[in-house]
C-alpha cells in the first residue's frame, strides 16, 4: 500500500512537470506567432561615453581618496565644469561619433552600419569626427564592397573618418579601412591581405564511381566556369582564374585610389602584416588602440557611441540565448584544452 502511495505521488509530480512544460512551449509558440505580426524595425541607441568615463573616474577616486579629499576633488571638478561651460557657451565643441563593425564572411553588420551612418549624417558637422572600430578578416567581394560604399558616404559629406583596428582588418576588412582619413591599429593587429581567394571541391569522379550521372546545361559560354558536381575543363579553369585576377585588379585600384601613398604592387600580394610592420609599409598611420584614442579625446570632444538595434521575436531571442550558451560552453572547453600550450 505504501509503495502504491509513493508511486502515485511520483506519477503526479511527473504529470505536473510534463503539463508545465507543454504550457510553456505553447505560450512560447503563441508569442512567437504574435511577434511575427509585429513590426521588425529597429532603433538607434546613443550612449554618451564622457559620462561613462566620468563615472569610472569618480568611482576610483571614491575608493582611493579619503572622504575630505574626495569632497574637495568633486567640488573643484564642479567648479571647473561650470567655468568650462560658461567659457564654451558660444563655442561648438567637437562631437566624436563612435561606430562598431564586427565583420563576418557576408559583412552582415552592414545592415546596421547603413542606418547608423544615415542617422549621424543628419546631424554631423564638418568639424565633427566619426571613429569606426573595425574588426573583420574579410569575406565576399560584393558584401564588403557595399560596406566600403557606406563609409564613402561619410567622406562625401566632408566628415573626417578615423578607422581603429584593434584585432584584424584583412582583405575586405582592409577594403573598408582604406576609406578612412586616418588608420590606427594595435601593434599586433593583423592588417592587409589585399588579394582574392576562391576554392571549391569537385565530386564528379566520386559520383561517377558510384554510377551517379550529373547533367549540367548552360546558356552562355561562361555561365559556369567551375562546378562542384560537373566535369571541369581547362577552359573553365582559365576563365575562373581570369575572373579572380580581374577582381584583384579592381581591389588594388580601389585601395590605391583611397591610399595613394601605398606602393600597391609591393603590398597587394595577399600577405598580412602585424600593426607595427603595417606602419612601415604605410598600411596604417599610427600605432594606437581605440581605447587610448577615445580617452585622449574626452576632454575636448563630446563622445557618442551610436548603434542600431534590431527588434527580435521571442523565438529569435531564445535562439540567440541558446547559441550564446553553446558558444560559452565551447569556448570554455577550448580554453581548457589549450591552457597548456604556452
Active-site residue among 171, 185, 193, 290?
171
pLDDT at 13 over 50: yes
List pLDDT tens digits, range 255-266: 999 999 999 999
List pLDDT tens digits, range 63-113: 888 888 877 877 877 777 676 666 665 567 899 999 999 999 999 999 999
Q: Is 223 a catalytic residue?
A: yes
Active-site residue among 86, 209, 223, 336?
223
Q: Which of 98-112, 142-156, 322-336 is least confident?
A: 322-336
Q: What average pLDDT does range 224-246 have in this prediction?
A: 91
Which CATH architecture group holds 94-193+271-310? Alpha-Beta Complex (3.90)
Closest among 151, 166, 153, 144 to 250, alpha carbons compared: 144
Please answer whether residues 225 and 240 qualify as being in contact, where contact means their C-beta atoms are separated by less than 8 angstroms.
Answer: yes
What's CA 123's distance to the chain center, in Å? 24
Residue with the larger pLDDT of the pair 258 and 6? 258
Residue with the larger pLDDT of the pair 68 and 171? 171
Q: How confident is the model at residue 332 (pLDDT cuts 50, 70, 90)?
A: low
Residue with the larger pLDDT of the pair 181 and 337? 181
- CATH 3.90.226.10 domain span(s) along the chain: 94-193+271-310
Q: Is 193 a catalytic residue?
A: no
Amino acid at each position: 500500500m505504501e509503495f502504491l502511495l509513493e508511486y502515485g505521488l511520483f506519477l503526479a509530480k511527473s504529470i505536473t512537470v510534463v503539463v508545465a512544460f507543454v504550457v510553456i512551449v505553447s505560450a512560447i509558440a503563441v508569442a512567437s506567432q504574435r511577434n511575427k505580426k509585429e513590426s521588425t524595425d529597429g532603433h538607434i541607441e546613443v550612449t554618451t561615453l564622457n559620462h561613462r568615463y566620468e563615472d569610472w573616474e569618480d568611482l576610483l577616486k571614491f575608493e582611493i581618496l579619503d572622504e575630505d579629499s574626495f569632497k574637495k576633488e568633486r567640488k573643484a571638478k564642479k567648479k571647473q565644469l561650470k567655468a568650462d561651460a560658461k567659457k564654451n557657451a558660444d563655442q561648438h565643441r567637437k562631437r566624436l561619433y563612435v561606430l562598431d563593425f564586427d565583420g563576418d564572411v557576408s559583412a552582415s553588420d552592414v545592415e546596421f552600419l547603413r542606418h547608423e551612418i544615415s542617422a549621424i549624417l543628419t546631424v554631423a558637422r564638418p568639424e565633427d569626427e566619426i571613429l569606426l572600430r573595425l574588426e573583420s578578416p574579410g569575406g565576399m567581394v560584393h558584401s564588403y564592397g557595399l560596406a566600403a560604399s557606406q563609409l564613402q558616404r561619410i567622406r562625401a559629406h566632408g566628415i573626417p573618418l578615423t578607422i581603429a583596428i584593434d584585432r584584424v582588418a584583412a582583405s575586405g576588412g582592409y577594403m573598408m579601412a582604406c576609406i578612412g582619413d586616418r588608420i590606427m591599429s594595435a601593434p599586433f593587429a593583423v592588417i592587409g591581405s589585399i588579394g582574392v581567394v576562391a576554392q571549391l571541391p569537385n565530386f564528379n569522379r566520386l559520383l561517377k564511381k558510384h554510377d551517379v550521372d550529373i547533367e549540367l546545361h548552360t546558356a552562355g559560354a561562361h555561365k559556369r566556369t567551375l562546378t562542384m558536381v560537373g566535369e571541369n575543363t581547362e577552359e573553365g579553369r582559365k576563365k575562373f582564374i581570369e575572373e579572380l585576377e580581374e577582381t584583384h585588379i579592381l581591389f588594388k585600384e580601389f585601395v590605391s585610389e583611397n591610399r595613394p601613398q601605398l606602393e600597391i604592387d609591393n603590398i597587394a600580394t595577399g600577405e598580412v602584416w602585424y600593426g607595427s610592420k603595417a606602419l612601415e609599409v604605410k598600411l596604417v598611420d599610427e600605432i594606437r588602440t581605440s581605447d587610448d584614442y577615445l580617452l585622449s579625446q574626452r576632454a575636448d570632444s563630446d563622445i557618442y557611441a551610436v548603434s542600431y538595434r534590431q527588434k527580435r521575436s521571442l523565438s529569435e531571442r531564445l535562439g540567440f540565448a541558446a547559441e550564446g550558451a553553446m558558444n560559452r560552453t565551447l569556448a570554455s572547453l577550448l580554453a581548457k584544452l589549450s591552457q597548456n600550450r604556452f
